[in-house]
Amino acid sequence: MGKNGTATIVKHTGSHYLLSELPNWNLFPAVVRGRIRLKGSTSTNPIAVGDIVDYSTDDEDTMASIDIIHPRRNYIIRRSTNLSRESHIIAANLDCVYLIVTMQFPETKLPFVDRFLVTCEAYGIPVVIVVNKCDLHDEYSQALLKEFKEIYADQAGYKIIEVSAIKGEGIEELCEEFKGKISLFSGVSGVGKSSLIKAIDPQLEYIRTGEISLAHLQGKHTTTFYEMHPIATGGFIIDTPGIRSFGLVDFEKEELSTYFPEMLSVMDDCYFKPCTHTHEPHCAVKQAVEEGTIAPERYNSYLGMLEDQTKYR
Ligand code: GDP
Ligand code: ZN
């Protein structure tokens, strides 16, 4: 007799998928034998890491068959090119995205942070900001951090965790965060993503370098695909190499401000509805910017994204 069950995709190798019955880590390979389609999907790889699937096996089968994909709670896509409508799903069913930033070395650009946050909001995925290299903080970076926290924690309402991968500070809190969740880890190169992953669980670094890749299951090791790893202290992590390639999702002009939590909370008071918070009189968002409860930096990012959106349509 064959076996049926439900499992999560933890890796896509190109020729097949690796599944695990989370929260257990009991990897087994599976392929798509028939044609599975998610209704309405234009994506080039309809199954992604994080997808929950029903599978079945026959007696003679060495590999399970993926039969059904469960509806996704959320997913992150990457555009193939800037203008192309073709997209590629990076991961599905995420519980949280962690954006790693540094105040200095490198100094984080706020418009980049804003684009990233808007993308997560649009996908409906909670995001936590991790400030790394806190051991390097001097007076100047302390001042930057104070302003950063005012904008992103006090005004926009994001959770911020301060850590040092090198000194091990804040790592316990981070591990506590990960428990029971599937988390996506992201940040531009140089912020200490690899160092943090190593601090969270030294075993993870080992896996990332591919030395104990699942050679008996997958043949040649490929690094271009996204992959989920178990964390020793609990939870699962997906590491994304190139966050820059996150395409900003399609949105309506009127929608954009709803992805800025501090704008969303006041826009009910705008005189015009919908309001783009640009030229309209009696705009609550513009008033909040004048009063200082919405940061001018955030408002400028908003205007920049609004302009891009008009350009690419
Ligand atoms: P990645 O490109 O984001 O993976 O960054 P790495 O983990 O390779 O780190 C980039 C550089 O920053 C390396 O020289 C690390 O030693 C250093 N680094 C990473 N985390 C910290 C930290 O918490 N404090 C300090 N002072 N340096 C760090
Ligand atoms: Zn308005």
For the cut 50, the answer to whether the pLDDT of residue 213 exceeds it is: no
Q: Quick one: 220 and 120 in the same domain?
A: yes
Q: Give the domain range for residue 133.
A: 75-239
Among candidate residues 54, 69, 84, the one where a domain is terminated: 69
Query: CA-to-CA distance for 250 and 256, rounded, in angstroms?
Result: 10
- The more confident residue out of 225 and 112 is 112
Please indicate, yes or no, if residue 135 is contained in any of the structural domains: yes
Distance between Cα 282 and ligand 2 center (Å): 7
Please indicate, yes or no, if residue 208 is contained in any of the structural domains: yes
- Tell me the pLDDT band of 84, cut-offs 50, 70 and 90: low
For the cut 50, the answer to whether the pLDDT of residue 210 exceeds it is: no
Q: How large is the average pLDDT for residues 185-203?
A: 90
- Tell me the pLDDT band of 24, cut-offs 50, 70 and 90: very high
Distance between Cα 207 and ligand 1 center (Å): 19
Encode pLDDT of 260-280 as tens digits.
Answer: 999 999 999 999 999 999 999
CATH number of the domain enclosing 234: 3.40.50.300
Provide the pLDDT for residue 36: 67
Provide the pLDDT for residue 61: 67
Provide the pLDDT for residue 303: 96
Please indicate, yes or no, if residue 120 is contained in any of the structural domains: yes
Question: Closest residue (by CA) to atom 12 of ligand 1?
Answer: 192
Q: Quick one: 191 and 171 in the same domain?
A: yes
Provide the pLDDT for residue 60: 73
Q: How large is the average pLDDT for residues 289-306?
A: 96
Question: Closest residue (by CA) to atom 9 of ligand 1?
Answer: 192
Provide the pLDDT for residue 26: 93
Encode pLDDT of 88-133 as tens digits.
Answer: 788 999 999 999 999 999 999 999 999 999 989 998 999 999 999 9
Distance between Cα 75 and ligand 2 center (Å): 29
Q: Quick one: 151 and 204 in the same domain?
A: yes
Radius of gyration of the chain (CA): 21
Among candidate residues 44, 69, 94, the one where a domain is terminated: 69
Q: Quick one: 12 and 139 in the same domain?
A: no
Question: Closest residue (by CA) to atom 5 of ligand 1?
Answer: 192
Pocket of ligand 1 (CB under 6 A): 132-133, 135-136, 164-166, 187, 189-195
The bridge status of strand 64-69 relative to strand 28-31 is parallel
Encode pLDDT of 134-183 as tens digits.
Answer: 999 999 999 999 999 999 999 999 999 999 999 999 999 999 999 999 99
Provide the pLDDT for residue 304: 93
Please indicate, yes or no, if residue 38 is contained in any of the structural domains: yes
Please indicate, yes or no, if residue 250 is contained in any of the structural domains: no
Model-wide pTM > 0.75:
yes
Provide the pLDDT for residue 50: 96
Q: Quick one: 43 and 79 in the same domain?
A: no
Q: Quick one: 85 and 217 in the same domain?
A: yes
For the cut 70, the answer to whether the pLDDT of residue 25 exceeds it is: yes
Ligand 1 atom at minimum distance from 167 CA: 23
Q: Quick one: 232 and 93 in the same domain?
A: yes
Ligand 1 atom at minimum distance from 163 CA: 23
For the cut 80, the answer to whether the pLDDT of residue 309 exceeds it is: no
Q: Quick one: 188 and 281 in the same domain?
A: no
Provide the pLDDT for residue 252: 80
Please indicate, yes or no, if residue 123 is contained in any of the structural domains: yes
Please indicate, yes or no, if residue 244 is contained in any of the structural domains: no
Among candidate residues 49, 69, 89, the one where a domain is terminated: 69
Provide the pLDDT for residue 197: 92
Provide the pLDDT for residue 177: 96
Q: In whole angstroms, how far apart are CA 240 and each of 10, 98, 117, 216, 258?
A: 14, 11, 16, 24, 26
Q: Say which ligand is closest to the CA of 278.
A: 2
| 152 CB burial (10 A radius; 0-12, 13-18, 19+) | buried
- Tell me the pLDDT band of 293, cut-offs 50, 70 and 90: very high
CATH number of the domain enclosing 36: 2.40.50.140
Distance between Cα 253 and ligand 2 center (Å): 12
Provide the pLDDT for residue 59: 75
Q: Quick one: 96 and 228 in the same domain?
A: yes
For the cut 90, the answer to whether the pLDDT of residue 284 exceeds it is: yes
Provide the pLDDT for residue 257: 96
Q: Can you read off the two tokens belonging to residue 234?
A: 């609990």
Please indicate, yes or no, if residue 248 is contained in any of the structural domains: no
| Mutate-to-test residue for ligand 1 from 108, 195, 197, 198, highest number of ligand atoms within 8 A of CB | 195
Distance between Cα 196 and ligand 1 center (Å): 8
CATH number of the domain enclosing 303: 1.10.40.50
* Least confident span in 1-5, 40-44, 52-56, 104-108: 40-44
In sequence order, what are the beta bridge partners of 131? 101, 162
Q: Say which ligand is closest to the CA of 106.
A: 1
Q: Quick one: 97 and 180 in the same domain?
A: yes
Q: Quick one: 116 and 143 in the same domain?
A: yes
Provide the pLDDT for residue 46: 78
Total of domains in the chain: 3
Q: Say which ligand is closest to the CA of 272.
A: 2
Question: Closest residue (by CA) to atom 25 of ligand 1?
Answer: 133
Q: Quick one: 84 and 180 in the same domain?
A: yes
Distance between Cα 29 and ligand 2 center (Å): 52
Provide the pLDDT for residue 40: 60
Encode pLDDT of 51-81 as tens digits.
Answer: 999 999 987 767 899 988 999 999 888 765 5
